[in-house]
Amino acid sequence: MDEHWFSGPDGSAAAASLKTLLGAGPEEFYPVMGGFTPVQRAVARLADGRRVFLKRAINDLTAGWLAAEHRFYASTSAAFLPAFLGYEPGTLVLEDLSAARWVPPWLPGDVEAVVAVMGAIAATPAPLHLPALRKLVNGSRGWREVAQEPEPFLALGLCCADWLAAALPHLIAAADAAPFDGTELVHLDLRSDNLCMAERGPVVFDWNMASIGNAKADLAFWLSSLHAEGGPAPEAILPEEPEFAAWVAGFFAAHAGLPPIPNAPRVRQIQRTQLETGFPWAVRALKLPTPWVT
């Protein structure tokens, strides 16, 4: 993706959107790097002095993501959310959080603050238009797909075929038993790149996958990446949850070895990173034999 889109025709379209939505056009765009989804990102300094963050879709898929995120922001407000400023199809404008602190590194008290915010998320009434968490996870790849096509996972070198064949029935059974049902608000894609530490506390964004279910799923999904970034082992925060551990590991096991995603080449690497902590967590939680490689 061209990181200098803001100086070309797309930048002109974004400027027009800002003028329409906020009543002031941009004096300057600053590109925002990072993130794993293929959308255009920038901070804009407006003619009236305001600074805002905008995301622009690059295709129909990402336009759908922004539409879903807009619908969530338009129906929910909380301190842990960025302020919603404007939307038109293909463009979402939010509060500029450039001055916030971005993790990692995780400083003392950060993990506890995020855990507390996750409790606040779970306690926030979920918009009724959101899908059920179980419906979303049932449509995603996991250990059953690894069983059908084990080669991409085995190519990662985390275990051998004999170990996997013996362990798969236990991994599949545990992941299938994960308790996804509930009435709580769930983000479903919580990682360090989807949150920052603002003065008011942690702020969580990228809500296009929001759903209704058991909020422990958010905690479980976050813990593998937290551990990879120097945080505690997952079971130190979420003990006695072998089913969620197996689900998390299965998701990354089924995705990390697949071919790169066009326009999102870094996704497989972050999935591999999360697998390298999530897979041992599942092994420990299910008390499986130590994986070996032949």
Q: What is the CATH number of domain 110-285?
A: 3.90.1200
Q: Which CATH architecture has domain 5-95?
A: 2-Layer Sandwich (3.30)
- Dihedral pair phi/psi, residue 196, rounded to 5°: -145, 165
**What is the reported pLDDT for 142?**
96
Which residues does 108 contact at the CB level (< 8 Å), separation at least 6? none
Q: Does pLDDT of 1 surpass 50?
A: no
How far is the C-alpha of 239 from the C-alpha of 228, rounded, in Å? 18
194 alpha-carbon distance from chain centroid:
6
How far is the C-alpha of 236 from the C-alpha of 231, rounded, in Å? 10
Q: Does pLDDT of 3 surpass 60?
A: no
| pTM reported for the whole predicted model | 0.92
Query: Could you tell me how many helices (H) and strands (E) the chain has, helices first?
Result: 11, 9
**What is the reported pLDDT for 286?**
98
Ranges of each domain in the chain: 5-95, 110-285
pLDDT averaged over the chain? 93
Taking the CA atoms of residue 8, residue 13, residue 15 and residue 20 in that order, the dihedral angle to the nearest 10 degrees is 170
Write the pLDDT tens digit of every residue in 86-141.
999 999 999 999 999 999 999 999 999 999 999 999 999 999 999 999 999 988 88
38-42, 113-117, 201-205, 207-211: range with lowest mean pLDDT: 38-42
Closest alpha carbon to 53 in 35, 68, 75, 36: 35
Buried b or exposed e, range 254-276, using 16+ CB within 10 angstroms: bbbbeeeeeebeebbebbbbbbb
